[in-house]
Structure 1
Amino acid sequence: MPIKPLTAQTLSALLSRIDNARYGEVRSVSALSSSSIEVQLSAQDIARGYDWIDVAFRIDGVRDAKLVSDNVLEMLDMREGISVSIDNEGCALAIGGYSGREGEAPFYILGTSLGYEELPFSG
């Protein structure tokens, strides 16, 4: 399944469906190019009776990022889930409750566009 672009409206619906990935797990962070990063995480899908799914978010036009090494991913605190925003300035994805201030998070990516892909659970 190809990456689907996200708008503010479709993003809101997706985040509601996965409850902002609260108590989920970051599975991987991959630099696809010098300006594109993919973050894959596992979350419960309310629309599927709380079954676990993986969701890959792809941020293009990356202009700033603060990432962690692979061996730290499983230790990221996901109690507050993720903060994701899209506006006229671009998009942002952060770990934790940093809505509107994603650039302050210990893990964040700021870019120009955002898309996602639903994947089978990798648990």
Structure 2
Amino acid sequence: MPVKPLSSSSLKDLCERIDFARQGEVRSITPLSPTSIDIRFSVQDIARGFDWIDIGFRIDGVSDAKLVSDNILKTLDMSEGITAEMDTKSCAIGIGSYNGRVSESPCYILGTTIGYEELPFSG
């Protein structure tokens, strides 16, 4: 998977472009190794006239995570979208609006780096 690395500003721009995945859906959470996890969302892309696409985020250097099983994914409330944060030493992604407190989210991943890939809509 050709993952594009994200910086703090490019992560913010991407989240704004997909409206923080509000009203989207979590498609999958895939642990790739003990320190690398992919999470895939179906979202509307403002840059494509609100067409639906999938965005896959890869978090590496995972230090903490609260994951849910596949049968729970579709029940996660995405009305508040996602929280995605990054500073010079860490990054975080969580379900819901949890700015500054992602570890309170019902599903989150904390790591050191984050990248993304645009994928075809899996609707």
Q: Same fold (TM over 0.5)?
A: yes
SS at match of 2:68: coil
Alignment: residue pair count: 123
Aligned to 1:100: 100
| Counterpart secondary structure, 2:59 | strand
Shift of residue 43, structure 1, vs aligned partner? 0.3
| Alignment partner, residue 2 of structure 1 | 2
- Which whole-Å CA distance do the structure 2 matches of 1:106 and 1:25 have between them? 15
Q: How does 1:21-100 map to 2 (within 5 A)?
A: 21-100=21-100
In structure 1, the gaps of 5 or more residues are none
Give the Å deviation of 1:89: 3.1
Letter in 2 for 1:57: F
Q: CA RMSD in A?
A: 0.8
Identity percentage of aligned residues = 63
Distance 2:100 2:14 in 1: 18
Amino acid at match of 1:80: E
Q: What do the CA deviations read for 1:75-118 (whole angstroms, capped 9, x no partner)?
A: 00000000000002300000000011101111110000000000
SS in 1 for 2:39: strand
Q: Which runs of 4+ in 1 moved over 4 A?
A: none
